[in-house]
Amino acid sequence: MMHEFKRYPLTYTIIAINVVIYLFTALLSGSLIEIDPRVLVRVGALYGPLTIADGQWWRLLTAMFLHGGMTHLLMNMYSLYLIGRGAEQYFSKAAYLSLYLFSGLFGGLVSLYVHPDAVGVGASGAIFGIFGALAGFFLAHRDRIGTYTKAFMKDFAVVLGLNFFIGVAIPSVDMSAHIGGLFIGLIGGYIIAKKPNILWLFDLVMLGVLFIGIQVVTSHYAQMLH
């Protein structure tokens, strides 16, 4: 087990953080199976009236580590287990974290734009971002790593199936966050795979685009209210 952790420290650390936070919310909810939406909102879920209207944009980050129930958590963590270990083989730790966090943040932002009054939680946007990053990596180096494509597509099918089930079965999960995360991850993964030394520039651009996105979502929300 220690050997596995040493090989994939980021993936296992992120999984552990999600599990610990879930247990904390389960304690507050009084249930290990389903988490009270009021608890989720209290500890950092996405919710338009608070995130947008009250300017609590830190919820874009905290919502990535919250889950609506045991099924939601287990399926997301299994998806991360499948996808994350591959990403740690192909990307640096800094690139992995950057892709994971920005995919989750943008996934949350897209979710807010589409469903601002829903309670949104989950690591799906970030996980889809890591999947997109792997797809971008394979696309960037498709002439050299064709032998890995079949294994990748197998994991792809499993992750897509799990997340489709999650999106249909769990009301607090917004599929738009998956699309937003996947898009950012795909672009970022391709760029970083081609030019690993410009990770700092990618981060800088993403921060700028995130700031613009926040302004767009805020304006859209204001128009909805009037």
Domains and CATH numbers, the chain: 2-225 (1.20.1540.10)
Residue in 11, 35, 13, 12 with CA at minimum distance from that of residue 23:
35
The torsion defined by the Cα of 16, 17, 23 and 28, in degrees rounded to 10, comes to 180
Residue in 186, 179, 218 with CA at minimum distance from that of residue 202:
186
pLDDT tens track of the chain, all 226 residues? 677 888 899 999 999 999 999 999 999 999 999 999 999 999 999 999 999 999 999 999 999 999 999 988 998 999 899 889 989 989 999 999 999 999 999 999 999 999 999 899 989 899 999 989 988 988 888 776 666 666 666 666 676 676 667 666 665 556 788 889 999 999 999 999 999 999 999 999 999 999 999 999 999 999 988 7
Q: What is the pLDDT of residue 148?
A: 61
Q: What is the pLDDT of residue 147?
A: 61
Rounded-to-integer distance, Cα 87 and Cα 95, Å:
9
Q: Which residues contact 178 (CB under 8 A, 6 or more apart)?
A: 107, 124, 125, 128, 163, 167
By annotation, the residues acting in catalysis are 124, 178
Rounded-to-integer distance, Cα 211 and Cα 33, Å:
36
